Amino acid sequence: MADETKLEDHLAALAESGLRHAAPVAAERIRARGERRLRRRRAALVSGGALLAVAVTVGGLSLAWASRGPEPPAVTPTPTDSSFVPPAPAAGEEYAGELGYVYGAVAKGDTVRVTVEQLRTVRGAATPVGVVHTLTLPRGTLVEARQLGGGSPEDLDLGRLVGRLAGGPRWVFVIDYDSEGRVHSLREAYWLAE
């Protein structure tokens, strides 16, 4: 029986010793996990800050690059000897329109020079006003065409229509001017061109 008591005491001492040594190891693991978490969090914050800095830099460069791009297709008409004054949009309107024959197209580099003879509508028919002027526009100026496009409505570049508009007054367009007197687009007035 004495041996059993000694054995129990010895096992109790061993268990107590194991607990003393086990507790610091568990605490070390918890502390190590906490430090790893803290390092990962710091790394994520640093990389997120670096990513934000890169995004801001790239965004700023793209904005700077975009400002160096080509001007919009709207251009101020070249002055002529005629008494033509570009129409101004009415209050609340984005564009003002000029109705006229567009003809005599001549391509020169990146521009197209056209002659415009102003018209007005009288009982659904086009009547010349007597004002003729020329416009020099970029080849990429948007033209909303129907009959020039083969009968179906489509948007074309002015450069593609030079051959069709090179002749005399035949095609009637509404020319859209912005508030600065620049041409924004041409729209075929197919209902008057017939």
pLDDT in tens, 95-107: 888 888 999 999 9
Q: Is residue 100 located within the same domain as residue 32?
A: no
Number of structural domains (the chain) is 2
Looking at the predicted structure, is the pLDDT value of residue 149 above 80? Answer: no
Residue 79 is predicted with a pLDDT of 47
Joined together, the tokens standing for residue 80 give 């002529």
Same domain for 124 and 57:
no
Same domain? 169 vs 130: yes
Residue 31 forms part of a structural domain:
yes
3 and 60 housed in the same domain: yes
Mean pLDDT of 157-165: 90
pLDDT of residue 25: 61
For the chain, what percent of residues have pLDDT higher than 90? 11
Tell me the C-alpha to C-alpha distance, in Å, between residue 84 and each of 27, 94, 175: 90, 20, 13
Cα 128–chain centre separation: 39
Q: Which residues contact 74 (CB under 8 A, 6 or more apart)?
A: 178, 180, 182, 183, 184
Sheet holding 111-122, edge to edge: 125-138, 111-122, 96-108, 171-177, 183-188, 142-145, 154-157
Task: Evaluate if residue 39 carries a pLDDT over 70.
Answer: yes
Q: Is the predicted pLDDT of residue 113 greater than 90, yes or no?
A: yes
The pTM assigned to this predicted structure is: 0.54
Q: Per-residue pLDDT for 8 more than 60?
A: yes
Confidence check: pLDDT of 168 > 60: yes
Q: How many helices (H) and strands (E) does the chain have?
A: 2, 7
| Confidence band for 111, pLDDT divided at 50, 70 and 90 | very high
